[in-house]
Copies of this chain bind each other. A is one copy, B any other.
Amino acid sequence: MAVVLTRNSYGKSRVRLTKVTHQADFHELIEWNVAIQLEGDFIPAYTVGDNRKVIATDTMKNTVYILARDHSPSNPESFAVLLADHFLNRYPQVSVADIHIEVQGWERISVAGQPHPHAFVGQGPEQRVARAKISRTKRTLIGGIETLYILKTTDSAFRDFHRDEFRTLPDCDDRIFATEMNAEWTYTSTSVDANTHHERIRRTLLETFAGHQSLGVQHTLNAMGTATLEACEAIDEITLTMPNRHRIPFNLTPFGRDNPNQIFIATDEPHGLITGTLRRKP
């Protein structure tokens, strides 16, 4: 029987880079978790164990630290592009370089109201992510936010949905809306001022979520994506994924008490999962 290898890629994941830049009066800190995947002329390594064109994943790891030393990446998006271009330019056997970076956020510790020059406190669980997927013919740059916990205690309804004999959930005019938003957006170019755009997009997502009169998770997701595309011309597509982390009203009736939307059970499972991709209309 004949078998064919129809798709393959390989690389290094969880390359954890810390870079400190010593300025005159203060230090700058970045901590990025880098993953690299390459596609290209690697089939002989699979079929007959011929590794001559294989760049060791250990070499990829070295490359991350060397390029971080040689350059001054100001944001993860540009470093992802730098790395992807490096692999394509140096190795003719590579056809696609796909770089993914997760940012560990750090803020300066405030001492007597002033930001400290070299001491930091970690941020989370929200994480900025960047991805550059670059081939010989196509360049894609993606920015994103993962695990942004957002919650609103009102201005959220879910009613008049499909009714059949398997439905037991009643209509609800006022419920808690809680999610761990993941967003990723595609830049129109691989050379953008990503820090500025990231900040604007993040603010737009948060403000739209806060202000929306929600008729459902889908409804708010669409409003958030639309507002983002309107606010940032540097992107042409956004995908939002929003698990519905239900807060279920606790039934206090057996205990002779009412519950005017005050007391809830927070749950992680089961959870709704709603996703959508919006694009600028051509």
Cβ contacts A71-82/B at 8 Å (1 or 0 each): 000000000000
For window 113-149 of chain A, which residues contact chain B by CB distance below 8 Å? 116, 118-126, 148-149
Known: A10-B218, A56-B162, A280-B3. A255 touches B106 (CB 8 A): no
Which residue of B120, B180, B270, B276 is within 8 Å of A151 (Cβ)? B120
The answer to whether B261 and A20 have CB atoms under 8 Å apart is yes
The answer to whether B263 and A27 have CB atoms under 8 Å apart is no
The answer to whether B263 and A161 have CB atoms under 8 Å apart is no
Query: Binding site of A, secondary structure by majority: helix, strand, loop or mixed?
Result: mixed
Q: Which residue of B lies closest to A255 (CB)?
A: B66
Copies of this polypeptide in the complex = 4
Q: Is A150 part of the binding interface, using a Cβ–Cβ cutoff of 8 Å?
A: yes
Q: Is A190 part of the binding interface, using a Cβ–Cβ cutoff of 8 Å?
A: no
- Report B-chain residues with C-beta under 8 Å of the C-beta of A124: 124-125, 149
The answer for the CA separation of A270 and B12 in the assembled complex, in Å, is 7
Q: Which residue of B lies closest to A168 (CB)?
A: B254
The answer to whether B61 and A270 have CB atoms under 8 Å apart is yes
- Report B-chain residues with C-beta under 8 Å of the C-beta of A211: 111, 116, 119
Which residue of B8, B45, B154, B226 is within 8 Å of A118 (Cβ)? B154
The answer for the CA separation of A1 and B119 in the assembled complex, in Å, is 27
The answer to whether A218 and B16 have CB atoms under 8 Å apart is no
- Give, as a whole number of angstroms, the nearest-CB distance from A178 to chain B: 8
For window 214-241 of chain A, which residues contact chain B by CB distance below 8 Å? 214-219, 221-222, 225-226, 229-230, 237, 239
- Report B-chain residues with C-beta under 8 Å of the C-beta of A279: 3-4, 6
For window 257-282 of chain A, which residues contact chain B by CB distance below 8 Å? 257, 259-281
Q: Is A88 part of the binding interface, using a Cβ–Cβ cutoff of 8 Å?
A: no
Q: Which 4 A-B pairs have the closest CB atoms?
A: A122-B149, A49-B215, A119-B210, A14-B269
Cβ contacts A to B, 18 pairs, < 8 Å: A1-B281, A10-B217, A14-B269, A18-B263, A18-B264, A18-B265, A45-B218, A45-B219, A49-B218, A53-B162, A54-B216, A62-B167, A104-B266, A120-B151, A121-B148, A122-B126, A165-B255, A168-B254
Interface residues of A (CB under 8 A from B): 1-22, 27, 29, 31, 35, 37, 42, 45-59, 61-63, 65-66, 68-70, 90-91, 104, 106, 109-112, 116, 118-126, 148-155, 158-162, 164-169, 176, 180, 206-207, 209-211, 214-219, 221-222, 225-226, 229-230, 237, 239, 243-244, 247, 250, 252, 254-255, 257, 259-281
